[in-house]
Amino acid sequence: MGHSAAIWDYRAATEITKDWNGIDQILLRTPRGSSARVSLHGAQVTSWRNEHGEELLFTSSKAIFKAPKAIRGGIPMCFPQFGNCGSLEQHGFARNRMWAIDENPPPLPGNDSSGKSFIDLVLKSSEEDMKCWPHSFEFRLRVSLATDGDLTLISRVRNINGKPFSFSFAYHTYLLVSDISEIRIEGLETLDYLDNLFKKERFTEQGDAITFESEVDRVYLSSPNIIAVLDHEKKRTFVIRKEGLPDVAVWNPWEKKSKSMVDFGDEEYKQMLCVDGSVIEKPVSLKPGEEWTGRLQLSVVPSSFCSDRLGLDRSGL
């Protein structure tokens, strides 16, 4: 690029293009070569690449990139419902709506955009949404990419209704992994979880780390604010930092369920793992005029970083 980080024009590093369905997508780039791609369809991050150009998020080879179908992969936004825990469509409607670029968003606390390439998007309640979920809201999302390649998503949901409402939420993050049988998650040990394979029955995690040898569909409760996903084969670790997101959903469909999904390859479960910063067990309640913020930061570090250096403890951020 020929630019030093000091004089890098972050606005110029934000490029708007169209995908093959004619839907606007935003490309964020950094001087070191990292990039992220965000679609206006669902405000979904569909790609996150490191400085070597290696993709870090999983997207199914059979994903359907056509609204209103949700895209199988990347980071779908689950709002105002996670899963099938309410009366709405699976994972709510936000991931299936067309969002708009927010040209003049209310300022975020602190100087969060300093030294980052970023885009602000907004979704406002429509007449169609009000029929199935009769609440007026504004959902603002900032997606930013730091010079070191860290990807941050900040969601702000404001109640502009005349009455309170509540919602559940998740960043449904599809991580690309080398081999699911070689993956372990640290930071969720000893926690209680709801097991969706056993009618949301509550269990306590017994292992010293979470590993995978069959289908997993769980929601870990009251989790620490830093989680690590270790990929033994690639010798790298995804570090997930979060605020305002007490729960962590963990999902891998394994072999049988993979074959039942039309937008998912039969063997693709081996290369993906969903680890979602979320609010599920106790939904967010907002009075009129109140706003909720949920923040997710994704980093990748060499696995030679041990857990102690990552600060995997209860204190979080």
CA 15 to chain centre: 21
Tell me if 191 sits within 8 A of 219, measured CB to CB: no
Residue 244 falls in which region: left (phi positive, over 0), alpha (psi -120 to 50) or beta: left
Q: Does 32 belong to an annotated binding site?
A: no
Q: Does 95 belong to an annotated binding site?
A: yes
Residue 247, φ and ψ in degrees, nearest 5: -105, 160
Q: Does 90 belong to an annotated binding site?
A: yes
3-state secondary structure string, the chain?
CCCCHHHCCCCCCEEEEECCCCCEEEEEECCCCCEEEEECECCEEEEEECCCCCECECECCCCCCCCCCCCCECECEECCCCCCCCCCCCCCCHHHCECEECCCCCCCCCCCCCCEEEEEEEEECCHHHHHHCCCCEEEEEEEEEECCCCEEEEEEEEECCCCCEEEEEEECCEEECCCHHHEEEECCCCCEEEEHHHCCEEEECCCCCECCCCCEEEEECCCCCEEEEEECCCCEEEEEEEECCCEEEEEECHHHHHHHCCCCCCCHHHHEEEEEEEEEEEEEEECCCCEEEEEEEEEEEECCCCHHHHCCCCCCC
Which residues are annotated as part of the binding site for substrate? Answer: 72, 90, 95
Known binding-site residues equal 72, 90, 95
